[in-house]
Chain A
Amino acid sequence: MLWPRLARALFSKPLTDPAPPVPEEVAQALAARLDAAAQRRLGRSLAIRQVDAGSCNGCELEINALSSVVYDLERFGLRFVASPRHADVLLVTGPLSRNMREALERAWACTPEPKWVVAAGDCAVDGGVFKGSYAVEGGVGAALPVDLVIPGCPPSPTQLLEGLLALLEAQAPPRAASAVQSVSKNA
């Protein structure tokens, strides 16, 4: 029976991990990339459209884990959406295979402004181990303006969460210097 289990779950300790710390410098640098109007429009929540641009599916496993009860992405106001038209963030994995370039560019064109582009995983950063192949562009940056990179092969759910929380934090003041930001591998 399911009902007794659901009832018991109401009174037991949550399985969810506490939130990881937000990397402050990253959040500040990201904030500097947003103007005040964009900041207001994005608010305190983000809709994420994930695009696999040639990954080995290792990154997808860890991104999916974010939705589990242990990481519970939605408690932060972060959620995955089915269409780029509903998204504030394109979370892109893979070395950008040539066969996926047009689809990724179309997804980006469909995503309303203001929008973030996050390159997740070593492949998305610069092609990773697939760099130099005839079949890959060598990273998401070859086609789109990247705001944040989250390295790792694959990045752990905690690393992914830190990066996404930095985006949320950036949407609230204050702000500082600009550059493409990287979440530390060991953070």
Chain B
Amino acid sequence: MSGGAEGARALLRSGAPQGCRPHERFLLTPGRWAALAEALAADHDLALLALWGEPGMVHAAFLSEAEGAVLLASAPAPEGRYAALSPVRPGAARFERTLRDLWGLSAEGAADLRPWLDHGRWPVTAPLSARPAPNGLPPPQPEFLPVEGEGVHQIPVGPIHAGVIEPGHFRFHVQGETVARLEARLGYVHKGTIGLMLGKSPRSAARFAARLSGDSTVAHAWAFAMAAEAATGAAPPPRAVALRALMAELERIHNHLNDWGFVCNDAAFAWPHARCGALREAVLRACAAAFGHRLMMDCVVPGGVAVDIAPEGPEVILAALDAMEAEIPALERVYDGHASLQDRVVGTGAVGSALVARFAAGGFVGRAAGRGFDARRLPGYAPYDDLDPAVPVLPQGDVDARMRIRIAELKESARLVRLLLERLPEGEVKVSLPQRGGEGVGIVEGFRGECLHWLALEEGGLIRAAFPRDPSWLQWPLLEAAIGNNIVADFPLCNKSFNCSYSGVDL
């Protein structure tokens, strides 16, 4: 096994270094890419983080959990073909379907060849390939994986759901009340974000990163800025770095509060929802007072932050945190003490730790099932090196465990916000990016998990290629596993406890 692991890593590193910073990208031949795909079968250390394309080229990002290193690999795709990774890394399947839909590149030997983002409704096919072809065909009927058995019937849900949430289609195969299989069909909110980023300067493309998933606007804008700064060799001022972390922790707090309330509400327990909503609103108003925007959209820009914190900012933020921390113990007692609520969340929607590891799912989905990965610690980035963020991990993998991880993170984020405000360095908050070529990658721990942005700039400093990877890519497939053998009525609870982004993966 360990020989295999060394084999895959050595094989990857045998490629020609392409100068991507801070994590190197190695260019392989198509033959060595295929050998890498084979070597990965015996190697359980290299986790696939992302797989994406460029015209005629396929790229992948891996995480070596043993080394704590991020490694990027690429290979040309002659005649639009490359060796599939999905047989050895199941998380690759949706990326491969996306590669076909956006760049027209086909994975040979892939586990799943059905379209993903392309519903047959765009005026072109393979819009990001060198030569997009006009699309004259009517939209095809979607195909779903079959389920056989006595009394199996289907429940189609969506794309428009009953609540105020994003659109997506869920196809349930059920036997009685029990879900035999759930399959999600996404892509409904595909906006062509990558296409809009190409040919723009990092500064003007930052607004697309900030709108990849509105609830993670800070984390994505930061990861994008980090990639742009790595590519051009710019260093954001220390005050900007601290303010970014401050915003990112506030974003984690408002989302965790929101979902804690919603999970209770989905179990028809309204009181925590009402309280969390009020506490969250105070946090959002503090963000607006401190940074001029409730969600802090467009506040993080390549080179630093767009605005310094308002003079009254620290005070209102601390007041919102005081109110939250004063109430969390009571909320926890109510969450713990009501059998009607515990009965719904404990043991519901469990995902095994082996499956979580196979998909390399990050964030609270991973941490609630024994995978303690947190980008703030590994690979780690400023200013967290000095803050030593605690990373809670639980083994159960059910709705309750995901909720408890988030409650623990709420408290930890409050601690980090106080520390950041205390130690806020003086000075500038922005530098201008040099206009030059380069390639960079940025990884930032958002509330859902690690947001990864890769960026390649032409000589003049404009974007040649980009890929923003939301953590939901590796979490959505696990939702399908979590609901298996649960009852249909528990789906909203499971779904909310994952709270995957639709917009983030629909691109």
Which A residues form the contact surface with B (CB < 8 A)? 1-2, 5-6, 15, 50-65, 67-70, 80, 82-84, 94-95, 97-103, 107, 129-130, 132-136, 153-154, 156
Which of A58, A95, A100, A132 interacts with B214 by CB under 8 Å? A58
How many Å lie between the Cα of A154 and that of B295 in the bound state?
9
Given contacts A57-B215, A68-B277, contact A50 B334 (CB under 8 A): no
Is the Cβ of A57 less than 8 Å from the Cβ of B122?
no
Do residues A133 and B213 form an inter-chain contact, with CB atoms below 8 A?
no
B162 touches A52 (CB 8 A): no
Q: Name which residue of chain A comes closest to B334, CB basis.
A: A2
Contact A135 B122 (CB under 8 A): yes
Q: Which residues of B contact A84 (CB under 8 A)?
A: 160
Not counting A68-B278, A156-B294, a sample of 8 additional A-B residue pairs whose C-beta atoms are within 8 angstroms of each other reads A5-B330, A5-B334, A52-B160, A58-B297, A64-B164, A70-B278, A99-B188, A133-B195
Closest A residue, CB atoms, query B288: A156
A97 touches B188 (CB 8 A): yes
CB of B166 within 8 A of CB of A60, answer yes
* Residue pair B165, A52 in contact (C-beta under 8 Å): yes
Q: Which chain A residue has the least Cβ–Cβ distance from B293?
A: A153
Contact across chains for B121 and A56 when beta carbons are under 8 A apart: no
A2: B residues at CB distance < 8 A: 271, 334, 338
Give the interface centre of A54, A62, A103 by most chain B CB atoms within 10 Å: A54
Complex contact B213–A135 (CB within 8 A): no
Closest to B272 in A: A2
Is B465 in the interface zone, CB < 8 Å from A?
no
Q: Chain A: which residue is nearest B139 at the CB level?
A: A102
How many angstroms between the C-alpha atoms of A173 and B251 in the bound complex? 43
Contacts A56-B211, A61-B295, A80-B164 given: A134-B281 contact, CB under 8 Å? no
B 158-187 binary contact with A (CB < 8 Å = 1; else 0): 011011111100000000000000000001
Inter-subunit contact A68/B281 (CB<8 Å):
yes
Contact A61 B215 (CB under 8 A): yes
Check B281–A58 contact: CB distance below 8 A.
no
A136 and B503 contacting across the interface, CB-CB below 8 Å:
no
Our pick among A51, A133, A153, A154 for the contact of B191 (Cβ within 8 Å) is: A133
Are B192 and A55 neighbours in the complex by a CB distance under 8 Å? no
Contact (Cβ within 8 A) B330 A55 = no
Q: Is B464 an interface residue (CB 8 A)?
A: no
B234 to chain A, nearest CB (A): 24
User: Is there contact, CB below 8 Å, between A59 and B214?
Assistant: yes
Residue of B nearest to A95 (CB): B191
Among A50, A61, A80, A130, which residue has the most Cβ atoms of chain B within 10 A? Answer: A61
Give, as a whole number of angstroms, the nearest-CB distance from A135 to chain B: 4
Complex CA gap A68/B284 in Å reads: 13
In angstroms, Cα B294 to Cα A100, docked, is: 27
A82 in contact with B189 given A61-B295, A99-B119, A101-B121 (CB within 8 Å) = no
Query: Is there an interface contact between B334 and A135, defined as CB atoms closer than 8 Å?
Result: no
The chain B residue with its CB closest to the CB of A80 is B164
Q: Is the interface of B mostly helix, strand, loop or mixed?
A: loop
Contacts of A50 in B (CB 8 A): 164
6 shortest interchain CB distances as A-B pairs? A58-B214, A68-B277, A133-B192, A135-B192, A82-B162, A56-B214
> Across the interface, which residues of A come within 8 angstroms of B167, CB to CB?
51-53, 100, 103
Residues of B within 8 A of A83 (CB): 162
Taking CB atoms, residues of chain B closer than 8 Å to A64 are 164, 258
What is the CB-to-nearest-CB distance from B213 to chain A, in angstroms, rounded to a whole number? Answer: 6
Interface residue B498 (Cβ < 8 Å from any Cβ of A):
no
Min CB–CB distance B495 → chain A (angstroms): 14
Complex formed: what's the CA distance from A58 to B218 in Å?
12
Contact pick for B123, options A15, A55, A134, CB 8 Å: A134
The docked-state distance in angstroms from the alpha carbon of A154 to that of B160 is: 20
CA distance A2 to B273 in the complex (A): 13
Q: Are B121 and A61 in contact (CB under 8 A)?
A: no
Q: Per-position contact with A for B311-336: 1 when CB-CB < 8 Å, else 0?
A: 00000000000000000001001100
B164 touching A130, Cβ below 8 Å: no
Q: Which of B160, B274, B334, B337 contacts A51 (CB 8 A)?
A: B160
Q: Is the CB of B190 within 8 A of A97?
A: yes
B189 and A55 contact, CB distance less than 8 A: yes
Which residues does chain B contribute within 8 Å of A134, judged by CB atoms? 122-124, 127, 132, 192, 195
Q: A98-B122, A129-B207 are in contact. Are A136 and B162 (CB under 8 A)?
A: no
Nearest neighbor of B294 in chain A, beta-carbon distance: A156
**A13 to B364, alpha carbons, bound, how many Å?**
36
Q: Restricting to B54-105, which residues have a CB under 8 Å from any CB of A?
A: none
**Residues of B close to A65: CB separation below 8 A:** 277, 280-281, 284
A83-B162, A97-B188 given; A133·B294 CB < 8 A? no
- Asked if B475 is an interface residue, CB under 8 A from chain A, the answer is no
Q: How far is the CA of A110 from the CA of B333 in the complex (A)?
A: 44
